Structure 1
Amino acid sequence: MNPPALQPSNWSDALVSGAFTVVDLTAQLSSATPVLPLPEGMAPIPRFELEELARYDERGETSYQNGIHTGEHVGTHFDAPCHWVTGIEHGDVSQVPVERLVGPAVVIDKSAEVARDPDYLLTVEDVRAWERAHGTLPAGWLLYRTGWAARSHDQDLFLNADDRGPHTPGVTPECARWLAEESDIVGFGVETVGTDAGQAFGFDLAFPVHTHLLGAGKYGITQLQNLDLLPVTGTLIVVAPLPIVGGSGSPARVLALVPGNVSEVN
Structure 2
Amino acid sequence: MDRRHLLKLTSLAVAGSATLPAAVSAKAKRAAGLWGVWDQAFARARFVSLSHVLEPDSPVWKGFPPTTRFAQGTGRLDETAPYAPFTYEKTGLETTAYTFATDQFGTQLDPPAHWHPCFAAIDELPPTLALRKLAVISIADRVQADVNYQLTAADVRAWERRNGRVPEGAVVMVRSDWHKRWPDAKRFQPADGRFPGVSLQALMFLHLERQILLHGHEPLDTDSTPTLTSEDWLMANGYMQAEGVAHLDQVPETGALVAIGFPRLKGGTGGFASFTAICPPDWSHGTRPGEVPEAPLPFNEKRLVWNEAKGLRERTAACDKPKGKQSFN
TM-score between both structures, scaled by the size of structure 1: 0.83
Change (3 A) 1:62 1:218: same
Q: Determine the structure 2 residue equivalent to 1:146.
A: 176
The structure 2 residue matched to 1:49, chosen from 57, 69, 82, is 69
Q: Is 1:108 equivalent to 2:129 in the alignment?
A: no
- Sort the Cα spacing of 1:47 and 1:11 in 2 relative to 1 into closer, same or farther, 3 A: farther
Query: What residue identity is the alignment partner of 2:258?
Result: I
Shift in alpha-carbon separation, 1:119–1:69, aligned structure 2, 3 A: same
Aligned-residue offset at 1:216? 3.0
- Once the two structures are TM-superposed, the CA of residue 214 in structure 1 deviates from its matched residue by 2.4
The structure whose RCO (Cα within 8 Å, separation 6+) is larger is: 1
- How many residues in Structure 1 have an aligned counterpart in Structure 2? 240
What's the secondary structure of 2:206's corresponding residue?
Answer: helix
Q: In the alignment, is the contact (CA less than 8 A) between 1:50 and 1:66 conserved in 2?
A: yes
Relative to 1, partners in 2 of residues 1:135 and 1:13: Cα closer, same or farther, differing over 3 Å?
closer
| Rounded Cα–Cα distance in structure 2 between residues aligned with 1:249 and 1:243 | 10
Query: 1:29, 1:48 within 8 Å by CA — same for their partners in 2?
Result: no
Q: 1:264 and 1:102, CA in 2 relative to 1: closer, same or farther beyond 3 A?
A: closer
Summarize the Cα distance change of 1:183–1:15 in structure 2 as closer, same or farther, 3 Å threshold.
Answer: closer
Structure 2 distance, partners of 1:239, 1:76, is: 11
How far apart in 2 are the matches of 1:135 and 1:45?
44
Matches within 5 A, 1:1-266: 9-11=36-38, 14-16=41-43, 19-38=44-63, 44=64, 48-53=68-73, 54-56=85-87, 61-70=91-100, 71-85=102-116, 88-138=117-167, 139-161=169-191, 165-194=192-221, 196-197=222-223, 199-201=224-226, 206-263=227-284
TM-score relative to the length of structure 2:
0.68
Higher strand share: 1
1:256 aligns to what SS in structure 2?
A: strand
Give the direction of change, closer, same or farther, for the CA distance of 1:74–1:46 in structure 2 (3 Å limit). farther
- Check the 8 A contact 2:258/2:277 in 1, yes or no: yes
Q: Which runs of 4+ in 1 moved over 6 A?
A: none
Unaligned runs of 5+ in 2: 1-33, 74-84, 287-329
Q: Name the stretch that deviates more: 168-177 or 91-100.
A: 168-177
Q: Contact 1:104 / 1:237 at 8 angstroms: preserved in 2?
A: yes
Segments of structure 1 that go 5 or more residues without pairing to the other structure are 1-6, 39-43
What is the CA RMSD across the aligned residues, in angstroms? 2.2
For residue 51 of structure 1, report the CA deviation from its aligned partner: 2.0
| Aligned residue number for residue 4 of structure 1 | none
- The CA deviation string for residues 189-223 of structure 1, in whole angstroms up to 9 with x for no partner, is 111122x22x322xxxx212322222332211111
